[in-house]
């Protein structure tokens, strides 16, 4: 390649020419020792002309060194062996859960409270009982709707025992191998390795954050738990309240408090109207104009392509595809995929970012408008936040452009925008009765949705913090008794509620085994800081384009070219705080 033939003083110029090519987008380049030596040498000379160039070079060096290019050959080979072992064990762990066919047979009486549609979805045993399979969609339905306490307890215990000792042993081995992997790279434990290049920077900071959140919510969570215990006492007498009762009595309390009929609410969210409302809000807030590309070449007739223009200058700043509707063999998750990132090319022009938003909505049927559940409205708004985040980015290098930013930061913009789904002024832009779209959703429903959002949120968050602490501890210390640790944390964090006897935390919480190991805190982290930004800047200014443009230019445009904490501090005028998040929970408490 040209890069390796040029003179020393030209090496970075050649690097810049290749910075946005497919070469730097493929994973294999970060395993090339010859490329690493060139990048490392340039980094050591410190001749970067801007903070953005420095950040880009640091990211490249980090990518190489995370693949062991700074280690001796023998250590690099050991690193590779460990990575292969970790991948194999992770796949085995997931396969065990996928292959687990455990079910419990129940009579209709034992499943009292479940809707008719649930019974219709169940297979039956030879003696006519209904099979409740230990899968999340079955167990969640039972734990949320079943009136029979013994049934809820049986299902919760069986779900928590999936794969028994097998996956527990795998998780213990995974944690051990991860610690070895981290130590080879100079870290004392895997948690510090995983967190080092995130906003949190260290496991100690993560612990401090989680404990502050948990402690701040203790009084409110205790009040919430007391109200649930009273509700159970009214319905089931003196039967003790257990963790298996949480979902059911939260729903019972919410039904009594808010009287929200989500079937009726759905009638106010036709897909086309929600989409036009999102376009309107994003236009007014961020100064964007959306225009459908007619006769675009797409992979299915339901898919649409849109151009995004700056409203003031008319400049084309991006494209995005919308693949909204469910169909057979389609990828099943709702998400945004970055197809091409913004970047400066070697000829001085800007590479146009392109995003793809995938969802699973129901299309129009027999002339009837496709309608969205409220949770689908929130999810679509969230994902559209990622689209805006991607196309508004102005970084010069694809490596730090668009959605390729700090994992602790990447969800913050989209989580901020979720707030628009709970405010009356924006909900009216998103809604309209499907038989007469000029009739928006009622003000009292908007208010109920806002309160419902935060109902029992302290107790729910306590449970999430429990899992985050468990995840951090097992990845900070070796030879931890995982079951005893979980028992201890469960009682401490969940206000004395004991873990169900015999359940296996390795099955209860697979994210710590694969996918988010030592990083489960990140969702809570981004939710906390998004609350601070919304309350400080946007609440009461939902369609204020001056503030929206500040957010677009200061938060979305830099991408990964600046430290996330500096990005947020620049926008807020101070360092981010957890207080707005805590206050938001208390404001809407029961």
pLDDT per residue as tens digits for the range 492-515: 999 999 999 888 887 766 666 677
Residues 239 and 289 in one domain: no
SS3 547: helix
- As annotated, the active-site residues are 383
Task: Say whether both 355 and 369 belong to one domain.
Answer: yes
For the question of whether the overall pTM of this predicted structure is more than 0.95, the answer is: no
Query: Averaged over 275-296, what is the pLDDT?
Result: 97
- Cβ atoms 343, 396 nearer than 8 A: yes
Residue 590: band (very low, low, confident or very high) from pLDDT cuts 50, 70, 90:
very low
pLDDT of 545 > 50? The answer is yes
In a domain, 553, yes or no: no
Same domain, 443 and 462: no
* Mean pLDDT for the stretch of residues 200-221: 96
Report the distance separating Cα 280 and Cα 518, nearest Å: 39
- Mean pLDDT score, 320-344: 94
Looking at residues 269-274, what average pLDDT do you find?
95
Condensed to tens digits (0 to 9), the pLDDT of residues 223-241 reads 999 999 999 999 999 999 9
Residue 158 in domain: no
- 245 in the same domain as 212: yes
Question: What is the arithmetic mean of pLDDT over 253-275?
Answer: 93
Average pLDDT on 271-296 reads 96
In the chain, % of residues over pLDDT 90: 82
In a domain, 192, yes or no: yes
Mention every residue, 6+ apart, whose C-beta is less than 8 A from residue 456.
224, 228, 250, 253, 254, 590
Would you state the pLDDT for residue 2? 27
pLDDT the model gives residue 556: 97
Q: Cα-flanking dihedrals φ and ψ of residue 105, to 5°?
A: -85, 135
Last residue in a domain, options 415, 434, 454: 454
- The residue among 29, 44, 70 that closes a domain is 70
| 74-84 pLDDT tens trace | 999 999 999 99
Whether 264 and 285 have beta carbons less than 8 Å apart is answered as no
Q: What is the mean pLDDT of the segment spanning 566-589? A: 87
Q: How many residues does the chain have?
A: 590
Do 233 and 205 belong to one domain?
Answer: yes
* Same structural domain, 351 and 436: yes
Q: Do 285 and 397 reside in the same domain of the chain?
A: yes
**Both structure tokens of 363:** 């299309």
Q: What is the pLDDT of residue 15?
A: 39
Any idea what the CATH number is for the domain that residue 199 is in?
A: 1.10.1370.10
The answer for 348, left when phi > 0, alpha when psi is -120 to 50, beta otherwise, is: left
Q: Does a structural domain hold residue 46?
A: yes
pLDDT interval class at 441 (50, 70, 90)? very high
For the ranges 20-24, 69-73, 230-234, 314-318, which has the lowest average pLDDT? 20-24
Same domain, 23 and 41: yes
Same domain, 368 and 504: no
Total domains, the chain = 3
Residue 12 has what pLDDT?
37
Q: In terms of domains, do 172 and 318 share one?
A: no
The proportion of the chain whose per-residue pLDDT surpasses 70, expressed as a percent, equals 93
300, 448: one domain: yes
pLDDT over 70 at 326, yes or no = yes
The answer to whether residue 153 is domain-embedded is no
**pLDDT for 513:** 60
| CATH number of the domain bearing residue 370 | 3.40.390.10
**Domain range spanning residue 210?**
168-258+456-518
The mean per-residue pLDDT over the stretch 329-333 comes to 90
In a domain, 341, yes or no: yes
Domain for residue 117, yes or no?
A: no
| Residue 571: predicted pLDDT | 97
Predicted confidence (pLDDT) at residue 21 exceeds the cutoff of 70: no
Mean of all residue pLDDT scores within the chain = 91
Return d(Cα 97, Cα 95) in angstroms, integer: 5
| Whether 378 and 364 share a structural domain | yes
**Residue 97: inside a domain:** no
- Structural domain ending residue among the three candidates 437, 454, 471: 454
pLDDT at 464 over 90: yes
Beta strands 354-361; 316-325: pairing state: parallel
Q: Where does residue 126 rank: exposed (0-12), middle (13-18), buried (19+ CB within 10 A)?
A: exposed
pLDDT at site 47: 81
């Amino acid at each position: 390649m040209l890069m390796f033939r040029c003179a020393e003083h030209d090496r970075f110029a050649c690097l810049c020419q290749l910075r946005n090519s497919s070469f730097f987008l493929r994973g294999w380049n970060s395993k090339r020792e010859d490329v690493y030596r060139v990048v490392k040498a340039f980094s050591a000379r410190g001749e970067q002309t801007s903070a953005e160039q420095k950040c880009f070079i640091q990211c490249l060096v980090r990518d190489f060194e995370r693949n062991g290019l700074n280690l001796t050959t023998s250590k690099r080979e050991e690193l590779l062996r460990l990575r292969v072992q970790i991948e194999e064990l992770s796949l085995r762990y997931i396969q065990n859960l996928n292959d687990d066919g455990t079910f419990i047979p129940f009579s209709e009486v034992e499943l009292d409270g479940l809707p008719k549609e649930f019974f219709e979805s169940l297979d039956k045993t030879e003696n006519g009982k209904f099979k409740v399979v230990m899968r999340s969609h079955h167990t969640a339905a039972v734990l949320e709707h079943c009136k029979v306490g013994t049934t809820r307890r049986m299902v919760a215990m069986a779900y928590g025992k999936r794969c028994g000792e097998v996956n527990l042993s795998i998780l213990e081995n995974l944690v051990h191998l991860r610690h070895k992997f981290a130590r080879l790279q100079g870290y004392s434990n895997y948690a510090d390795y995983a967190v080092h290049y995130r906003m949190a920077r260290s496991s100690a900071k993560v612990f401090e954050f989680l404990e502050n959140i948990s402690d701040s919510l203790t009084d409110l969570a205790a009040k919430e738990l007391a109200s649930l215990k009273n509700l159970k006492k009214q319905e089931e007498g003196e039967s003790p309240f257990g963790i298996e009762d949480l979902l059911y009595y939260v729903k019972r309390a919410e039904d009594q408090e808010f009287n929200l009929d989500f079937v009726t609410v759905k009638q106010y969210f036709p897909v086309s109207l929600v989409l036009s409302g999102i376009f309107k809000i994003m236009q007014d807030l961020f100064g964007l104009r959306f225009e459908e590309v007619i006769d675009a070449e797409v992979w299915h007739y339901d898919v649409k392509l849109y151009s995004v223009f700056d409203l003031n200058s008319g400049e084309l700043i991006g494209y995005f595809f919308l693949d909204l509707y469910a169909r057979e063999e389609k990828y099943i998750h709702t998400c945004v995929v970055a197809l091409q990132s913004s970047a400066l090319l070697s000829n001085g022009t800007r590479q146009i970012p392109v995003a793809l938003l995938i969802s699973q909505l129901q299309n129009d049927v027999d002339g009837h408008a496709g309608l969205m559940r409220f949770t689908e409205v929130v999810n679509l708004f969230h994902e559209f936040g990622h689209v805006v985040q991607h196309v508004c980015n102005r970084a010069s290098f694809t490596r730090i452009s668009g959605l390729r930013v700090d994992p602790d930061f990447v969800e913050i913009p989209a989580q901020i925008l979720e707030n628009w789904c709970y405010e009356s002024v924006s909900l009216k832009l998103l809604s309209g009765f499907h038989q007469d779209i000029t009739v928006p959703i009622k003000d009292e429903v908007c208010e109920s949705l806002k309160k419902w959002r935060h109902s029992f949120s302290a107790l729910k968050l306590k449970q999430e913090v429990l899992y985050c602490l468990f995840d951090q501890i097992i990845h900070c210390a070796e030879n931890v008794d995982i079951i005893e640790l979980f028992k201890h944390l469960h009682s401490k964090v969940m206000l004395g509620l004991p873990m169900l006897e015999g359940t296996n935390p390795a099955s209860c919480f697979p994210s710590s085994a694969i996918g988010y190991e030592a990083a489960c805190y990140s969702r809570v982290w981004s939710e906390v800081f998004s609350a601070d930004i919304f309350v400080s800047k946007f609440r009461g200014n939902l369609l204020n384009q001056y503030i929206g443009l500040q957010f677009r230019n200061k938060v979305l445009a830099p991408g990964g070219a600046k430290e996330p904490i500096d990005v947020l501090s620049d926008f807020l005028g101070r360092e981010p705080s957890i207080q707005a998040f805590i206050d938001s929970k208390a404001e809407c408490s029961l």
